[in-house]
């Protein structure tokens, strides 16, 4: 008797009348909103405008969804194009099957288009949204739980996942919940990027590269545990090789970028700094105008002082004693004194 396990939902679809509400799709949507919300907060903190992250996401998200689906269909083409399969199922994204590698690759193309239209530095944008993408992946993985997919080897650990569906070749039983392992790993990656970005002031795409490297290091061992059908190269699952290669590329970028372009971008969005410059120019014009007015006032004050000085000179001259008058007065006093002596 199993003492504990993680139960699987009996179904992953709720119907609102004839409209199906699929849990997998809701997990993806919630993840996107979380990534945009956090990315916007980080973007504004870096000096960008509010709303820019959402405007670029309008391009990045659709491209990412198409890229994720393309990667899944190409790498698991036998699920849709082999005998007995219906190729129309390749368009049924709601049934699961989004490859993160294709989602990030083609999503970056969409972000590049949006960034160019907005006058935004793409590496800085990638740094801002990196932890949000990790958290979005953490939420999105719960869509796999609703679909009872992407589980690992059989186990009887207390946190084993109980698979009850037998569709698509599933065998009911207790398995490693690899969806949960990856979800928790992505949460850790998101917080790691936030901490490292604050601690080391990562810029020029290095925060995004750290996210990629950290995610790949976890995805490799989690992917190795999975038991769903996958292509193998030298006995190793294709996605394990992909994780190793992408990890090495991300680390290489981290090292080279830190050497060639240390520090962080001073300007992340065109127009924000220009507006500041215009404000400074206006302030400079006002200061010059005020200085000119002060100079004119000072000159006027000097002129007034000069006029007062000129008006005071005649008065000073009138009160100044005449040397000749002073001499005559002294002579008169002398004559008077001599007369007195004679008398």
Q: What is the pLDDT of residues 242-287, one digit of tens each?
A: 999 999 999 999 999 999 999 999 889 987 754 333 333 343 444 4
Q: Is 163 helix (H, G, I), strand (E, B) or coil?
A: strand
Confidence bin at 20 (pLDDT 50/70/90): confident
Q: What is the pLDDT of residues 67-119, one digit of tens each?
A: 999 998 988 888 888 888 888 888 888 777 888 999 999 999 999 999 999 98
**Rounded-to-integer distance, Cα 297 and Cα 306, Å:** 14
pTM of the full structure: 0.76
Q: Is 21 helix (H, G, I), strand (E, B) or coil?
A: strand
Instruction: Please report the pLDDT score of residue 318 as a whole number.
Output: 44
Q: Say whether pLDDT at 343 is over 50.
A: no
Q: Which of 13-17, 38-42, 58-62 bottoms out in mean pLDDT, i.e. has the lowest?
A: 13-17
Q: Is 232 helix (H, G, I), strand (E, B) or coil?
A: strand
pLDDT mean over 153-169: 90
| 67-97: b (≥16 Cβ within 10 Å) or e | bbbbbbbebbeebbeeeeeeeeebeebbebb
CB atoms within 10 A of CB 275: 10
Instruction: Please report the pLDDT score of residue 288 as a whole number.
Output: 44
DSSP states along 118-138: HTB-HHHHHHHHHHHHHHHHH
- Residue 22's H or E segment, with its range, is strand 19-22
Confidence bin at 64 (pLDDT 50/70/90): very high
pLDDT mean over 20-44: 94
| 208-233: b (≥16 Cβ within 10 Å) or e | bbbbbbbbbbbbbebbebbeeeeeee
Backbone phi, psi, residue 162, to 5°: -90, 110
**Rounded-to-integer distance, Cα 82 and Cα 72, Å:** 15
Q: Say if CB 223 and CB 237 are below 8 A apart.
A: yes
Of residues 89 and 214, the one with the higher pLDDT is: 214
CB-based contacts of 156: which residues, under 8 Å, 6+ apart?
A: 2, 174
**Rounded-to-integer distance, Cα 46 and Cα 266, Å:** 9
Instruction: Please report the pLDDT score of residue 294 as a whole number.
Output: 53
């Amino acid at each position: 008797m199993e003492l504990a396990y993680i139960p699987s939902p009996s179904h992953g679809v709720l119907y609102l009348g004839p409209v199906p509400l699929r849990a997998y799709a809701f997990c993806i949507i919630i993840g996107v909103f979380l990534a945009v919300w956090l990315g916007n907060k980080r973007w504004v903190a870096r000096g960008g405008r509010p709303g820019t992250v959402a405007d670029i996401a309008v391009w990045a998200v659709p491209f990412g969804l198409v890229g994720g689906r393309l990667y899944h269909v190409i790498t698991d083409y036998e699920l849709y194009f082999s005998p007995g399969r219906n190729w129309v199922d390749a368009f049924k994204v709601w049934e699961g099957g989004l490859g993160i590698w294709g989602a990030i690759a083609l999503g970056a193309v969409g972000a590049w288009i949006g960034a160019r239209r907005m006058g935004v530095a793409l590496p800085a944008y990638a740094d801002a949204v990196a932890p949000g993408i990790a958290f979005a992946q953490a939420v999105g993985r719960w869509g796999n739980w609703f679909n009872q997919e992407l589980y690992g080897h059989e186990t009887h650990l207390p946190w084993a996942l109980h698979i009850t569906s037998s569709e698509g070749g599933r065998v009911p039983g207790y398995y490693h919940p690899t969806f949960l392992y990856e979800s928790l790993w992505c949460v850790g990656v998101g917080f790691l990027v936030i901490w490292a970005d604050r601690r080391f002031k990562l810029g020029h795409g290095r925060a995004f590269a750290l996210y990629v490297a950290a995610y790949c290091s976890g995805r490799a061992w989690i992917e190795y545990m999975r038991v769903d059908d996958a292509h193998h190269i030298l006995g190793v699952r294709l996605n394990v090789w992909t994780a190793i290669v992408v990890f090495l590329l991300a680390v290489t970028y981290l090292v080279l970028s830190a050497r060639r372009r240390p520090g962080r971008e001073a300007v992340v969005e065109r127009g924000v700094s220009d507006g500041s410059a215009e404000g400074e120019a206006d302030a400079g014009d006002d200061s010059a105008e005020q200085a000119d007015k002060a100079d004119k006032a000072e000159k006027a004050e000097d002129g007034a002082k000069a006029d007062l000085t000129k008006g005071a000179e005649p008065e000073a001259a009138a009160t100044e004693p005449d040397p000749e008058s002073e001499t005559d007065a002294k002579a008169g006093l002398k004559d008077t004194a001599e007369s007195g002596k004679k008398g």
